[in-house]
Amino acid sequence: MQTTYGILHHENQSFGVSFPDFPGCVTGGATEEEALRKADEVLTFHVAGMVEDGEALPISRTLEELRLDPDVQEALAEGTVFVARYDVPRKAVRINISMDEGLVEAVDRAAGRINQSRSAFLADAARRRLEELIFVKTG
């Protein structure tokens, strides 16, 4: 898991998030909590798109380097800085697991309803569970 700085902006009755080292990657929410919750997910999605397009990922700057950047100074002055986490996609690895066949059927039905493969569905479920465990341990 990689990290970079994000900036939380209060805009009228909502909150926005931007990432100085990832121009164009933005998200938001009705509350601070919603905006921050979506930040890691949107950043990971943005990075996956960059990797898929063959773009080089930027090297995240230090907070001091961001403070010295005239293009970022205003956003820093008006917003709240936080550390955002993102995953860089890696090569898929084939695994062999055993599950109750009824559970496999339920997974397949659920995955089909949202147009996902069984593998993608199980990977998403594993990611969510890991995030829950990490949040409980550190949050």
Confidence of residue 139 (pLDDT cuts 50, 70, 90): very low
Mean pLDDT, the chain, integer? 90
DSSP H helix total and E strand total for the chain: 5, 4
Return the bridge partners of 16, or none: 9, 28
pTM: 0.66
* pLDDT (mean) for 64-72: 93
**Contact, 41 vs 50, CB < 8 A?**
no
Checking if the pLDDT of 35 tops 90, the result is yes
Checking if the pLDDT of 136 tops 60, the result is no
